[in-house]
Amino acid sequence: MKAIYPGSFDPITYGHVDIIERASEVFDELVIVIMQNDDKHSLFTEEERAEMCRKSTAHIKNVSVMIGNGLTVDFAKKIGATILVRGIRAVTDYEYEMQLATANMALNGDIHTVFLVAQPQFSFLSSSTAKTIAKNKGDLRFFVPDCVAEELVKKYEKGE
C-alpha cells in the first residue's frame, strides 16, 4: 500500500523522522509531501525543506519526498496513494487533526487517514520549537538531525 505523509516540515524534526520510520514499516511505500501553503509564512523554501527531508530520511529505503499542491486528497489520488499519515503529539493536536481528517473523508472517501502517536520523548517537539531554539542559539542536538541544525544556524546567521 502506498501512503503519503503531508505537512509543512518547516523544518523536519526528529518527531517527524520517528513517524516516518514507523510508517515506512507499516506501508510498502511512503511519500513525504511538502504541501504548498500560501497562508503560512515559512522560514525555508519548499525546495530547502524537501532537501532536508531527503537527507534526514536517506537511511530509509521505501521513503521519497515530493512537493505537493492543491488539496491533499487530490494530490494523494494523483500519485496513487490511498493512505494519508498524520502524527498526534497530544490532545491539543487531536481537535485540529480530527477536523482535517473528517474534511478529507468528505472530499474523498477512498483516501484513509491513519494516525500514529508520537513517542513520549518527541511529544513536545515541533518545527516552531526548533526555530525558537535556533533563533536563540540554543543546542539543537535533541530536536533536529545535524543537517537540519546546520541549515537553521545558517538561516538565523543571515538574520532572517
In terms of CB distance, is 62 or 119 closer to ligand ADP?
119
- With CB under 6 A as the contact rule, the residue among 3, 8, 50, 143 that binds ligand ADP is 8
* Closest residue by Cα to residue 67 from 22, 31, 30, 97: 31
- With CB under 6 A as the contact rule, the residue among 3, 43, 50, 125 that binds ligand ADP is 125
Strands across the sheet containing 2-7: 63-68, 29-35, 2-7, 83-88, 112-117
Which residues in 61-80 contact ligand ADP (CB under 6 A)? none
Least distance from C-beta 157 to ligand ADP, angstroms?
A: 23
Residue 48 within binding range of ligand ADP, rule CB under 6 A: no
Active site residues: 16, 40, 89, 127
- With CB under 6 A as the contact rule, the residue among 17, 65, 83, 118 that binds ligand ADP is 118
List C-alpha distances in Å: 150 to 82, 137, 156: 35, 12, 10
Contact 134, 152 (CB under 8 A): yes
